[in-house]
Structure 1
């Protein structure tokens, strides 16, 4: 029997419609489900070994998020995002996240570091195991956890929305290079700098880290 992909394992491991939505969203963001590709609810239901109903519900939510568009009597098409839009999304994150972590650095605690390192380790494991679904889920949790320590739910909500709109079409191609692991290990470096209360250092690293969105992860910089 063929080995299950990380996306399929994610669906089986965690409330049905939410799991399906999370898994399909990860497949779209990582490029596993390519822009412009058309998918029917029954085909996706068979792929994830669930009924068509939670798939349709998940796809309708993904349509609201702009990840797919409904095609009458055919299914859902993965929407495309141009490089200019990707750069603008990353640009807003560049304005918010490095400054936010610089604010967090002076008040970062040992307890915060311990919690963050659990997710940093999961990110590294996702890269090593070439499991993009696990990688993306742990990456999202890690970054939103750090922002959550600033006790500003609006910031967390805005960054979460920006991340959901972002496409990382080159991410899958990084599975067979050392770049995905290098990016994964940057999460431990972020925690190191926060633990050292190095505001300038973590600001610089976050600028570089988010820069991967329009570089390595987009497929624009494959050299």
Structure 2
């Protein structure tokens, strides 16, 4: 495991004889007040609660979900940057030791990544990072274009130009992320821009499907020299601004061409 992975143990920081139930006793016919449970919450009239323990608060569940979410974010970042290498197998216990957590939240996060197509389960060993070939990346680009181009063309004819102008700060964020040369930072900014753009259509299901396809297209990245990779990110980021301009002016042919080029994976 590479040293670039960071510990998130307890800090909240990402790495870059049961007794039979007592019988219910009906309340007196004249009773009008609800009983109070042992934990202070009101009971239902006629419900016997004296022998029932208070319900535990779901604090542990919330904390576990929070840890799993942090681990999932960290693993996604590691996939995008190449710290988790395509073709390599990683076990949940080993990754758990790296994070300073148990294997359980790591395993749960990896199972989510398996659903997203980023890793595959290797029985009795762990999870293998999926290798992406040129054909699969081209297919993802085609599906994204088939899904999003019609939506964007509809937006170009129905959304006021001022709404597209409101998205310029997000486009500028992608430019700054590209200039940093950090693939993980750019991937996050890129998804934020496209999510905000598609949100103008008001279709929640579209957002979910497009987000899944977008993530699949982002990892693992094809190995490229750092300078070349930074140049690719800068070119992609510049297309965001050009796309907003084309949408605002209603240049449908330009919108179609930009989106098709933008989705195509370039090394």
Shared fold, TM over 0.5? yes
Distance 1:171 1:77, change over 3 A: closer
> Of the candidates 169, 192, 202, which is equivalent to residue 245 of structure 2?
192
TM-score (norm 2): 0.67
CA deviation digits over 1:46-94, x for unaligned, max 9? 5445554322221111122222123344321112333322222211112
> Of the candidates 121, 137, 155, which is equivalent to residue 206 of structure 2?
155
Aligned residue for 2:69, secondary structure, equals: helix
Counterparts of 1:66-215 in structure 2, within 5 Å, are: 66-106=117-157, 107-114=159-166, 116-170=167-221, 173=224, 175-177=226-228, 178-211=231-264, 213=265
Distance 1:133 1:45, change over 3 A: farther
Determine the C-alpha separation between the residues in 2 that align with 1:99 and 1:154: 15
Structure 1 or 2: more helix by fraction: 1
Runs of 5+ consecutive residues of structure 2 not aligned to the other structure: 17-65
Q: CA deviation at 1:172?
A: 5.3
The answer on whether the counterparts of 1:63 and 1:70 sit within 8 Å (CA) in structure 2 is yes
How many residues matched? 209
Q: CA deviation at 1:194?
A: 2.1
The answer on whether the counterparts of 2:132 and 2:220 sit within 8 Å (CA) in structure 1 is no
TM-score (norm 1): 0.78
Greater Rg by CA: 2
Aligned residue for 2:128, secondary structure, equals: strand
Distance 1:172 1:105, change over 3 A: farther
Which structure has more relative contact order (CA 8 Å, sep 6+)? It is: 1
Q: CA deviation at 1:97?
A: 1.9
Query: What is aligned with 1:63?
Result: 114
Aligned residue for 1:173, secondary structure, equals: coil
Aligned residue for 1:70, secondary structure, equals: strand
Q: CA deviation at 1:166?
A: 2.5
The answer on whether the counterparts of 1:23 and 1:133 sit within 8 Å (CA) in structure 2 is no
Distance 1:19 1:113, change over 3 A: farther
Q: CA deviation at 1:149?
A: 0.7
The answer on whether the counterparts of 2:243 and 2:255 sit within 8 Å (CA) in structure 1 is yes
Distance 1:42 1:122, change over 3 A: farther
Determine the C-alpha separation between the residues in 2 that align with 1:198 and 1:74: 52
